Amino acid sequence: MASPAVSPAGSITTCGKSRVGVELRFLSVFLALAGACVLVQAQNGAAVAAPETQSSPKVPVVAIIDSGVARTPELRNVLLEEYDFGASPARPAFRPRYDHGTMVATIMEREAKEPIYIISFRIDDLEGCPKEVNPPCQHDVRPIAAAIRKATELGVTAINISLNLKEDPLIVDAIRDASARGIRVIMAAGNDGLDHPGNLRMAKAGYPNTILVGALDADGQPWKGTNRPQPDTPGYRYVWQWGVDVPTIMADGTRAIATGTSFAAPIETAKLLTQSQQPPATIALSS
């Protein structure tokens, strides 16, 4: 198997499993809290429209590009849709092979101080990962770039990428274009313990709307595995968030403790989403 273009930026310690059924072809949906415009939610394969109000605040929408997200009880009401860029035909929605994306989404939802919505972009390779690499993996950069561009087309508020990406021009250009649209792109800094972050070329391409995230322990000290920022190097943003022994949930509902910049990134995303004053664009969820 070829070297992966993407791999996770974190590790898991267990402590204790087709596209979404909502058919919204050609329907433009304004996502808003408490019935402002149209609130879309999956309920037995149907789209539910809430009554219109003029005063309710808009709810930010985040794209999680990862291994797919399970519709756990905790995430059921925040997951809007899932796009599968890793397989054709698409695999059943919200039934991920790996836990990583569900763990990322759970951390984000828990850390958000206000309501958010999530659209899952599944990119894990059908062939899985080489033995020495933790899942999820994708050896082809094209599905990853396509997922970023789809999220940009939908007009999400932010994109969370808790993965170590190959800095291919297709991905770099997709992130540059998303950032140019005003979409925040939050990326894990990587877990190699280096004196420079991973995903650096992408972070510079999308500056200032791209953010790299390093992991802190519970005492607020940098985790030893974090790729650290370069001193006095302009042109990219780097922040620190808690990323060691972070409680979360696996796809089957099992409680877990997660460590890595993968799990620091969604905390920063949640912070940005709930602080954002910019309303999300119209989201067109098409099948």
Asked whether the predicted pLDDT for residue 102 surpasses 60, the reply is yes
Q: How far apart are CA 108 and CA 102, in angstroms?
A: 10
Give me the amino acid identity at 61.
V
Helix, strand, coil abundance in the chain, percent, nearest 5: 20, 25, 55
pLDDT at residue 104, rounded to an integer: 98
Tokens of 236: 């990219």
Of 32-41, 77-86, 173-182, 225-234, which range is least confident? 32-41
Residue-wise pLDDT for 22-80, tens only, equals 333 222 333 332 222 233 333 333 333 333 444 456 899 999 999 999 999 999 999 99
SS (H, E, C) 242-283: ECCCEEEECCCCCEEEEECHHHHHHHHHHHHHHHCCCCCCCE
CATH 3.10.180.10 at 6-20+60-279, yes or no? no
Poorest-confidence range of 44-58, 92-106, 202-216? 44-58
3-state secondary structure of 129: coil
Calculate what percentage of the chain has a pLDDT beyond 70.
76
Distance, in Å, from the CA atom of 27 to the CA atom of 18, rounded to the nearest integer, reads 19
> For residue range 25-35, what is the model confidence (pLDDT) as tens digits?
222 333 332 22
So where are the chain's domains? 6-20+60-279
Q: Using an 8 Å Cβ cutoff, are 242 and 218 in contact?
A: yes
Phi, psi values for residue 192, rounded to 5°? -100, 0
Higher pLDDT, 218 or 8: 218
Taking Cα atoms as reference points, which of 46, 53, 49, 102 lies closest to residue 79?
A: 102
Confidence at residue 265, expressed as pLDDT on a 0 to 100 scale: 98
Closest CA to 69 of 96, 30, 32, 38: 96
Other CB atoms within 10 Å distance of the CB of residue 221: 10
pLDDT band at 8 (very low <50, low <70, confident <90, very high): confident
